[in-house]
Chains A and B, each alone.
Chain A
């Protein structure tokens, strides 16, 4: 396939993916909007007003970047894991396997589909947050780059989960038992400075802490960790997961007999 044909094939997957999650918007776009609005009302307004300041900012201002990031992470991951598993389950993954599309194009198409939903939901949550706080972007490049890398990383994570999944239960295990706890413990609602030294050290092992803090730095200009280190770590994880996903596709894990 020449580069034009490759782009058409890639774009076909992206359009198919975007069409999928917009077609079922009450399941994909509406729930995060409702959940995050409740977070803003309950944690930001009702409880936050009693907490006072966090990291030098009003509590609502402090949690907004974390909540935006949380919705980007869960939606990027959720989009790819459910879409690719559905493709396997209904066997229409075979449509791609019989075609001449290289594996890296298939993977990129699914990842960009996940990024599109992650960023779309991130945008919806950001717009909703404007009803509750005055959001100023401190570092536009850091903000955009962080959210983009994070959604790529979790789309890849969702893809790997889908490859290994053998049932619909398997696609909810990682989000429920790994992703959600790591997100909640990743400094969405608090600064790790509040924790004792030991737990601060443990928190540094949580990759989501770096993403939330880098994004918070982009918006508020404050962070618990080094931004350069966070970007380096994100890029390394992306390269590692992309390579592993390609290896799985090449091997036909879960999709070829």
Chain B
């Protein structure tokens, strides 16, 4: 089956000599929900910029559903919908006009464009604001407007560059559910995000990019299996003056009520609770120290940083 997105040996060197991409290769399958992760300046936005024709590449090849961005540009672009990181619509235009105008750029007749604009603006909770000038919208609404605009030509691949940055939790959850819905309907979704919880919750496959190289490209499940140790934070009672003796579990006290314990994958939690119970320590609540993917991400990026230093 043709890949939704195929990137081969993609390089980008900016005019100032900065090498943002060092020959990356990547494939995203049709129907996938794919995350491209990496620290700031790693090359995520440059990659997506090249795919969406906003950045000129230095070398390499990009194909969207088999259409080359060099040889069959129009067809490739027809397949793509892009939601950029920063607001890039006319702040003086009305909400509905922005969406309808975008449809026009894809050659969609007015009548169809109006129907689709209504559908997506309703879907994204912006229909009531359709006649409002876009600069009057809140940050979350502006982000949803960009999603509606990107979907109006019904692309097969939707690219979202940090779609939920600066969006409150409730809205983020509703956007997640909307993205899951359109993915289930067949749209391939590629996103970058700094919220690793978002990638873990939404995506099936993941690539981590750092210093212009792909350092990991696998499924979320396979990636999480690499995680050997998890850190748990326990709210305990009664207060403790010293760290309780927990056989095989490295632990420390953050304060007299908070115990931080490292648990290896093969150890499990039952014995930990047993040992605490034997010492008459009650666990009132428990949480992960950090998102599981976040721990893995940090360790992979740190490892790559050490590799870059020796390169």
Contacts and interface: CB of A to CB of B under 8 A. Distances in A.
Given A16-B101, A252-B56, A257-B55, A94 B107 contact: no
A110 to B, nearest CB: 13
10 contacts: A2-B107, A12-B105, A90-B91, A91-B87, A91-B88, A94-B54, A95-B105, A98-B80, A100-B75, A256-B56
B207 to A, nearest CB: 21
A6 B74 CA distance: 11
Given A12-B101, A98-B54, A256-B54, A91 B86 contact: yes
Contacts of A228: none
B49 interface: yes
A257 to B, nearest CB: 4
Interface residues on A, range: 20 to 34
A87 B97 CA distance: 15
A257 B55 CA distance: 5
B118 to A, nearest CB: 18
A99 B90 contact: no
A252 B92 CA distance: 25
Contacts of A94: 54, 82, 84, 88
Given A9-B105, A12-B105, A257-B46, 9 more contacts: A12-B101, A15-B104, A19-B97, A91-B88, A94-B54, A95-B105, A100-B107, A101-B105, A256-B55
A90 B90 contact: yes
A50 interface: no
A1 interface: yes
A98 B104 CA distance: 13
Contacts of B87: 91
A16 B97 CA distance: 9
A100 B78 contact: yes
B106 interface: yes
A8 interface: yes
Nearest to A87: B90
Given A100-B73, A100-B77, A95 B54 contact: no
Interface residues of B, number: 34
B191 to A, nearest CB: 16
A207 interface: no
Interface string A1-17: 11011101101110110
Contacts of A9: 104-107
A199 B46 CA distance: 55
Contacts of B82: 94, 98
Nearest to B91: A90
B149 A95 contact: yes
Interface in A1-44: 1-2, 4-6, 8-9, 11-13, 15-16, 19, 23
B77 A98 contact: yes
B52 A98 contact: yes
A257 B74 contact: no
A91 B109 CA distance: 25
A92 interface: yes
Nearest to A11: B104
B102 interface: yes
